[in-house]
Chain A
Amino acid sequence: MDKKIKVLIAKPGLDGHDRGAKVVSRALRDAGMEVIYTGIRQTPEQIVATAVQEDVDSIGMSCLSGAHNKLFPKVVNLLKEKGAGDVLVFGGGIIPDEDIPGLKESGITEIFLPGASTEDTIEFIRNNVKQGV
């Protein structure tokens, strides 16, 4: 039997809007995944340290403050530095369309925008997590 997919849901930066992060955490748990939620106000360093320590398969970051262009890529770079570049990274929040190509280029595999369903997120993780490779 496959082991449970382990996901870290993280709130980088100073943004306190965590309704989405909490709803997604709960939906992933209901879908049978193991979910760790960091709580708000995490630095990229803290997020990556937790991800490495918990050996997660995926990190989902939520940012509604507009600081995503700084914070999301920083997490990806730190993951690579720590030899955890294979962790699947995705994000969500108030993110202008024009920022998405740059974020994807920096290693964020998918960006979920307002109105996205939790089903889409669940399916995305199931299809993209590289498990036990």
Chain B
Amino acid sequence: MSCTDKKARLAERQEQWQGMVDKALSRFPERKENFSTTSGIEMKRLFGPADVDAVDYNEDVGFPGEFPFTRGVQPTMYRARFWTMRQYAGFGSAKQTNERYRYLLGQGQTGLSVAFDLPTQIGYDSDMELADGEVGKVGVAIDSLADMEILFDQIALDKVSTSMTINAPAAVLLAMYIAVAEKQGVSSDKLRGTIQNDVLKEYFARGTYIFPPQPSMKIITDIFSYCKDNLPNWNTISISGYHIREAGSSAVQEVAFTLADGLAYVDAAVKTGLDVDDFAKRLSFFFNVHNNFLEEVAKFRAARRLWARLMKERFGAKKASSMMMRFHTQTAGCSLTAQQPDNNVVRVTMQALAAVLGGTNSLHTNSRDEALCLPTEDSVRIALRTQQIIAHESGVADTIDPLAGSYMVESMTSEIEEKALEYINKIDDLGGVVKAIEAGFMQQEIGDSAYAYQKSVETADQVIVGVNKFTIEEAPPENLLRIKQEMEIEQRKSLAAVKAGRDANAVDDSLKALREVAESGDNLLPAIVSAVKTYATLGEVCGILREVFGEYIES
């Protein structure tokens, strides 16, 4: 049968089937008039060959480890090595968190991920007034190198890779990490890990900004440049869509705004004179994985393809590693319910499976109790076991990108890529990400999606099991993890002891030197590393930078 004959036969059969559908619809109407994804992409009743007519396998899909990386960034993917199982953790004091890390490593976790408390994330010490009530709450409190030494006690930094969710003060925490490693006898070229260091999304989705955009971009490019020479195995940034999604965006917006941020960083670095192929391979990404399973799988594939194309087309990247999007994924915190919290184990399982089928390079699975409190040890273990079961028992890791070639998934991949690019072009038209933030563009877009979602939940158009359907009377949950108020007092005491025990002159000199560097415009990193080694505190270092660079005020 010729190709034309086949097409004609297909069209004929499609028409016959449509007749069956119409008959069925007249007797059994469908559950909804329109089925669509979070991004408003139509979920057709049936996807078929016609939906992937425009997809060219060689150009658009290709092979794993090859441009445009739709099928994954490594040639053998999980057949060689599973994704890194990396649970985000941190609470209370450095000592408490160190115990949790050693527990998780003992349970088979393969990488660390540090959650810092809010004062640390915003560059305040625990003894500052604005830190009141927040110390050790959403993460571990780190005031000085002394805390960092305890945090990584008995953890060999040449053996483990560590991700740190730190943005505005990323340079300071990285400097402390370098200093701890040095004390362990580990040189900085051996260090593996990631700092989030993605300040742009803080302005419109996460909120832990300190400095205005311009000096923030300067600090970020200083880090790129310093790491290129001193920490060749360090991921200098984790460009994050996770928080954009948590703030309420759709899947398409998540991809679009994250990649737009990424383009802004690359652009800024190139403008400082760095060669794109010298730093781009150390850029990494971080995505959310939400409930709509197939849309999420397609989202990851689309993000990889679009980034590869943009790096090639816009920046003339030549090395494959500069175009290859490597990313971490976390299951959607905002999808967890406080009601019937054990159901969250099931949600997390499906989300994690979507991330794996989407080819994630590392993964955090949320714990069932996180809509209520910080996760208990039992809950964290189940979350980690969820990944281990997917890896070792489900079989999905044994072949690469198994959903490729699905009419639906390929069609959705193309559509997400196309719609995300439209947003990126729109942001370009607005003058770039910083201008778009100032105009409130992303904020408005995300806010609209969040509100629409809330409405759909309240009308039960979107069913949330246990919340707006299948509800039960429940007793209040028990055995929740609480951070005691005394922790804050203890942390302040130990900070006072550090301040009393250090060489005050050395601290003053190092801070003075830092101020001079900040004013001169030279790379900040060497001066920050010197300062933290004298036990100058995070608040002191950030204080100098606040004085020189000013602070960002949300408009």
Among the interface residues B119, B138, B458, which one has the most CB atoms of the partner chain A within 10 A?
B138
> A97 CA to B247 CA in the complex, in Å?
25
B462 an interface residue at 8 Å Cβ cutoff? no
User: Which residues of chain B come closer than 8 Å to A98, judged between CB atoms?
Assistant: 476
A115–B339 contact, CB under 8 A?
A: yes
Main DSSP-derived SS at the B contact region: loop
User: Which residues of chain A come closer than 8 Å to B477, judged between CB atoms?
Assistant: 97
B43 an interface residue at 8 Å Cβ cutoff? no
> Which parts of A1-46 form the interface with B (CB within 8 Å)?
13-19, 22-23, 26-27, 39-41, 43
Q: A22-B450, A94-B373, A118-B458 are in contact. Are A16 and B208 (CB under 8 A)?
A: yes
B480–A65 contact, CB under 8 A?
A: no
> Which A residue's beta carbon lies closest to that of B337?
A115
> A104 CA to B467 CA in the complex, in Å?
24
Q: In the complex, identify which listed stretch (B11-19, B128-136, B185-193, B312-320) lies at the interface while the others stay far away.
A: B128-136
B308 an interface residue at 8 Å Cβ cutoff? no
B372–A16 contact, CB under 8 A?
A: no
A66–B450 contact, CB under 8 A?
A: no
User: Which residues of chain A come closer than 8 Å to B207, judged between CB atoms?
Assistant: 15-18, 40-41
User: Which residues of chain A come closer than 8 Å to B130, judged between CB atoms?
Assistant: 14, 43
Give the bracket for the number of chain B residues in contact with chain A.
35 or more
> A43 CA to B373 CA in the complex, in Å?
23
Contact with A along B452-496 (1 / 0, CB 8 A): 001001100000100100000000110010110100000000000
B206 an interface residue at 8 Å Cβ cutoff? yes
Q: In the complex, identify which listed stretch (A49-57, A67-75, A79-87) lies at the interface while the others stay far away.
A: A67-75
> A33 CA to B450 CA in the complex, in Å?
20
Chain A contributes a number of interface residues (CB within 8 A of B) equal to 31
Q: List 20 A-B contacts (CB under 8 A).
A: A13-B118, A14-B134, A19-B248, A19-B334, A23-B451, A27-B451, A40-B207, A40-B554, A65-B137, A66-B373, A66-B483, A67-B137, A69-B133, A70-B133, A94-B372, A96-B372, A96-B373, A97-B476, A114-B371, A119-B458
B residues neighboring A (CB under 8 Å): 118-119, 121-122, 124, 130-134, 137-138, 202, 206-208, 246-248, 334, 337-339, 371-374, 447, 450-451, 454, 457-458, 464, 467, 476-477, 480, 482-483, 485, 554
Known: A15-B134, A66-B138, A96-B482. 15 other contacts (CB 8 A): A13-B118, A14-B134, A15-B118, A15-B207, A40-B207, A41-B554, A67-B133, A67-B137, A69-B485, A94-B371, A97-B477, A114-B371, A115-B338, A118-B454, A118-B458
